[in-house]
Amino acid sequence: MGALSGIGVLITRPEHQAQPLCRLIEAEGGNAILYPALAIRARADRDALRGAIGDLNTFDLVVFTSANAVRFGAGLLGQRRTLRLAAIGPATAAALNAAGYRVALMPPAGADSESLLALPELAHMSGQRVLIVRGTGGRELLARVLAERGARISYAEVYVSEAAQPAPELQATVERLWQQGGVQVYTATSVVLLEALTRIVPLSCRQLMDRTALLTGTHRVADAAARLGLASPLILAEGMDDAALVGALRDSRLQGSLAAALR
């Protein structure tokens, strides 16, 4: 019997990113319930985007803010293998490496703007041109702080994220499972994802979220949950990567805190 036996975990990541986490949870005996809360699509105006960016060789640093930024934006790099690239966390770095690019800067721990900004290499940016590859409407912290340090910032917003539109069959399945006690935990690895989840869950499930543990790897999501009026018990992992999330869930189960929180 696995450490997560009897635990149903609602996996809310976009479908193309969710499978590794589902497999890890199921390997521990848990029931991974795939319920993507976000739909990710490429920007339609790719040619206009390339024109607005101009010559990539004029940038001193290109920052990828997520694995999705790599998925939809690595093509901008073409065959330029000497550009200085930064990744905001291990999943982003792994995606760049898989695409054939070498990452020059990555936080030793953490997977957010704050962790990247803490690197000594980014402490003094006077006169440097920085391209930030992200989705539309991303956080402004990275650009703001780098600009305060002297950098000149440009954006390549290569994808759009929006609340998913689950099929009626999936909605009915999730609602039935949740009402029958088959969902003990739901995941949210970004504020945008949590906000989308609250918009798409059936009303009865929205009411059940307060009695369902929230698994995340950042205090920003926990703060957003409070702002959204959620009282979900919190399981806070040390990072956003799949191993950290599953490890936190396993520890919570083994220590008995998950069961206590859900009584």
Report whether 28 contacts 205 (CB < 8 A).
no
99 shares its domain with 63 = yes
- Structural domain ending residue among the three candidates 162, 193, 211: 162
Q: Which of 120, 138, 162 is the last residue of a domain?
A: 162
The percent of residues in the chain predicted with pLDDT above 90, rounded, is: 70
Higher pLDDT pick, 184 / 81: 184
Mean pLDDT of 91-99: 92
Number of structural domains, the chain? 2
Query: What is the per-residue pLDDT for 257?
Result: 57
User: Where a domain ends, among 122, 139, 162?
Assistant: 162
For residues 69 and 178, state if they share a domain.
Answer: no
**So what's the pLDDT on residue 258?**
62
Residues 15 and 103 in one domain: no
DSSP state letter for 82: S
Residues 135, 229 within the same domain: no
138 CB neighbour count, 10 Å cutoff: 20
Q: Of 70-74, 83-87, 110-114, 121-125, which gets the smallest average pLDDT?
A: 110-114
In a domain, 243, yes or no: yes
**CATH number of the domain that 112 lies in?**
3.40.50.10090
> Which of 212 and 89 is assigned the larger pLDDT?
212
Q: Which residue has the tokens 């539309």?
A: 136
Give the chain's mean pLDDT.
Answer: 91
Which segment of 41-55, 94-108, 121-135 scores lowest on mean pLDDT? 41-55
Average confidence (pLDDT) over 175-186: 95
Task: Report which of residues 151 and 136 the model is more confident about.
Answer: 151
Q: What are phi and psi of 206, to 5 degrees?
A: -55, -35
Q: What is the pLDDT of residue 261?
A: 46
pTM above 0.95, yes or no: no
260 band by pLDDT with thresholds 50, 70 and 90 = very low
- Together in a domain, 52 and 134: yes
Domain extent at residue 71 = 41-162
Please report whether residue 27 resides in a domain.
yes
Integer Cα distance of 64 and 131 in angstroms = 9
Do residues 62 and 75 both lie within one domain? yes
132 shares a domain with 23:
no
Q: Check whether residue 33 and residue 45 sit in a common domain.
A: no
The string of pLDDT tens digits covering residues 40-86 is 999 888 777 878 888 898 999 999 999 999 999 998 888 887 899 99
Kindly state the greatest CA–CA separation across the chain: 59
Q: Is the pLDDT of residue 34 over 70?
A: yes
Answer yes or no: do 47 and 155 share one domain: yes
Residue 16 pLDDT = 84
148 lies in the same domain as 72: yes
CA of 214: how far to CAs of 119, 170, 258, in Å?
30, 21, 10
93 and 149 together in one domain: yes
